[in-house]
Chains A and B, each alone.
Chain A
Amino acid sequence: MRRAWPTLVLLCSAGAFAEELQISFQPPFVLLGSGATVSVAVRLPRSDARLGSAVNAGTLQALDGPDAFERHFLWTPPGTRSPMTALLVFWIEERGSPPEVSLARIPLVGRTNLEIHTEPSAQVRVEVAGASFGPAQADKRGRAEVPIDVPPGIQTVQVVAQAHGRLRTRNSPLDVPKSSTLAIAFSPQPLVRGEPGWLIVARPEAWDPAQLEVDLSGGRLGVPSYAAGRTLFPVVPDKPATELTAKASLRSDRIDRAEVTAAISPSVGEAPSRIARFSASASAGGFYAGGSNAGAALAVDGSYSLPAADGRFTLELELGFRNASLSAPVTGLGSVHSSVTAMSIEAALRVLFFERGPWAVHGRVGGGVLPFRVSARSSFQPPFTQSGLAPEGFASAQVGYRFRTFELFAELRGGIAPAKTSTLDAQLGGLLLALGARYQIQ
């Protein structure tokens, strides 16, 4: 069931960042120490978009989304009790193009007991960003404590004390510990040698670009582009470097600093891609092609996912077994029984069409040969056998469910595999339904 997101919806856009991301989260703010978490939904402009993310505080955990156009996250606040603005940074990664960055800001409200010194027995209340807390009565020595909620960015509060008919108002500074507000990340994740990369630096509030200081080790920074709250640096890794480390800080506030390190993966063709892998599978089921063209179908399969296209294409070699039999009368002579046993040797290309969470839908096309043997026995003549070779072509769809390195799948296959000899006219293709399990070896 789809959740409603009635709270805060941000349409993030900014000049050079052409494509907007629609970000919504619930609740709209967090009282630190309450244990609350924030549910975040990001609406994508297209289903195949690769979404990157970073935060300046707390942790962001990806969840399953309701459809291909929406990604869900759970953001957990940091352990600090000091008010601040949490910054959630999302961007679309497009190979060879600058990331399209969007920001979401979550106010983190701190709760504290404000100690106040005033006249003895005075009635005291505190105004914080338009909200009133108290009243509390000062003791005989003029001391009072008022619990207040402090939103981020508040440096002073107004204390209102009333004693002996007199009302006294004064501003009281807050001692709010400061923490870094910078969020920093590399895009794409991981960086690929020889392909364009970027460093994203973002902050809840806009800042003077001249204040930003970035130190990059392992590569070189290009000319940055600025937009409200974020800066984008092209980065070029040095040839021998295997990782990049960026440190960012604001000259005006040395507490505002952040650091990120990213590995540099080999370029395509330089080494096998991390998504290249081998797997093995086994399946069992049955086929039907009309009449007595029906029987058991077993198969074992070895496959290799091609490094290109995110491993969507997989080459497969399949060895299988099929069997069908026929018993029928022969006019004037008696009856016969025959059976066809075939071994399938086939190559196939499997394509990943759709993937969400543990579910995946694959399409397969392939072909091969089926060496087969037909044997017959009858009531009127000697038994005999014949051998032959049947060609086969097929297309199929697989629905799989993955857990860890295993995948359970169901396959529906349509194929043509005419098995013919001087005595036999059979079809070992038709519709084939099988259940199987795949194990990812590497």
Chain B
Amino acid sequence: MRLRLTALLLPLCACGNGALPPPAILSIDPAEMVACEGATVIVGVDAVLPTRFDYSQSAASANPDIALRIGDVPVGSGKYVPGGLLTAAVPPVFSPGNYDVGLRLSDGRPEAILPAAFTVRPNPYPDRYLLDFVPDQTQAQPFDITIRAQGTNAPVYKCTVALSSDRGSISPRASGNFQQGVRTERVTIDRSFPAVVITVRDDGGRVGSSNSFRVGP
């Protein structure tokens, strides 16, 4: 009984802790991505939401708004998820490097930061690109070109390349992501020319060109 009383009184007398605990980031998984690929990560947080107990109304509320960031880029839905495992899509906008992960609640408590917790790895560029044979085409009519990465990293290359033509204008100007080193892209040349060559170029300056083909009116 005496111990119980002491146990009761001691915490009561430990006054002064009127603030809620600051949030904490426990984990991020996966903790890295390839720069050009983007990723979907799960961030584990230990956070007490801004909670309100109104005893007069016998009611309780909690504000689920949160701000999750990687580097300076906001990620996630902006809402807390019961259990504290937040899912966030990371866009492929990062340069290679290590980035802080931050979490801020809506009531102004200090931001939780997990320093250098997320790594962006460089893109695994191939040595060069080859384009399959392109037959003669008609102006403004879409046609497919197939681009093949060549070299050591070719099978794992998933990035994009820029598209250009030496005559007329080609659209789109960039390809979609490669799949296992191959990308088939539907393109259009706007005007007719007797000989046109399409060139692809990645961020690292590696290039590849098609054969010369005719674009008829």
**CB < 8 Å neighbour of B84 from A321, A331, A381, A386:** A381
**CB < 8 Å neighbour of A343 from B12, B60, B64:** B12
Question: Can you list, as one digit per residue, whether each of B49-68 has a CB less than 8 Å from chain A (1) or not (0)?
Answer: 11111111111111010000
**CB < 8 Å neighbour of B62 from A374, A381, A386:** A381
Do the beta carbons of A336 and B55 come within 8 Å of each other?
no
**CB < 8 Å neighbour of B52 from A342, A380, A425:** A425
Q: Which residues of B contact A328 (CB under 8 A)?
A: 53, 58-60
- The answer to whether residues A382 and B58 also contact, given A336-B51, A342-B12, A372-B12 and a CB cut-off of 8 A, is no
**CB < 8 Å neighbour of A379 from B15, B80, B82:** B82
Residue of B whose beta carbon sits closest to that of A424: B53
Do the beta carbons of A334 and B55 come within 8 Å of each other?
no
- A7 touches B (CB below 8 Å): no
Chain B interface SS verdict (over half):
loop
Residue of B whose beta carbon sits closest to that of A423: B51
- A349 touches B (CB below 8 Å): no
Q: Which residues of B contact A386 (CB under 8 A)?
A: 17-20
- The answer to whether residues A376 and B21 also contact, given A326-B60, A341-B8, A342-B12 and a CB cut-off of 8 A, is no
Q: Which residues of B contact A376 (CB under 8 A)?
A: 51, 53
The docked-state distance in angstroms from the alpha carbon of A401 to that of B15 is 39
- The answer to whether residues A384 and B15 also contact, given A293-B56, A334-B82 and a CB cut-off of 8 A, is no
The docked-state distance in angstroms from the alpha carbon of A350 to that of B10 is 30
Residue of B whose beta carbon sits closest to that of A321: B8
- A227 touches B (CB below 8 Å): no
- The answer to whether residues A380 and B82 also contact, given A290-B56, A336-B62 and a CB cut-off of 8 A, is yes
The docked-state distance in angstroms from the alpha carbon of A236 to that of B51 is 75
Which of B50, B53, B61, B83 counts the most chain A CB atoms within 10 A? B53
Do the beta carbons of B64 and A341 come within 8 Å of each other?
no
- B16 touches A (CB below 8 Å): yes
The size of the chain A interface, using a CB distance under 8 A, is 44
Residue of A whose beta carbon sits closest to that of B14: A387
Residue of B whose beta carbon sits closest to that of A426: B55
Do the beta carbons of A422 and B20 come within 8 Å of each other?
yes
- The answer to whether residues A422 and B58 also contact, given A332-B64, A380-B83, A388-B15 and a CB cut-off of 8 A, is no
Question: Can you list, as one digit per residue, whether each of A310-353 has a CB less than 8 Å from chain B (1) or not (0)?
Answer: 00000000000100101011111110101011110000000000
Q: Which residues of A contact B80 (CB under 8 A)?
A: 333, 380-381
The docked-state distance in angstroms from the alpha carbon of A427 to that of B55 is 7
- A385 touches B (CB below 8 Å): yes
- A371 touches B (CB below 8 Å): yes
- A373 touches B (CB below 8 Å): yes
- The answer to whether residues A423 and B46 also contact, given A291-B58, A342-B12 and a CB cut-off of 8 A, is no
Residue of A whose beta carbon sits closest to that of B47: A381
The docked-state distance in angstroms from the alpha carbon of A427 to that of B83 is 31
A residues with a Cβ closer than 8 A to B are: 289-293, 321, 324, 326, 328-334, 336, 338, 340-343, 371-374, 376, 378-382, 384-389, 421-427
Besides A292-B55, A293-B56, 15 other A-B contacts (C-beta < 8 A): A290-B56, A291-B54, A291-B55, A291-B56, A321-B8, A328-B58, A328-B59, A333-B49, A381-B82, A382-B46, A386-B19, A387-B15, A423-B50, A426-B55, A427-B56
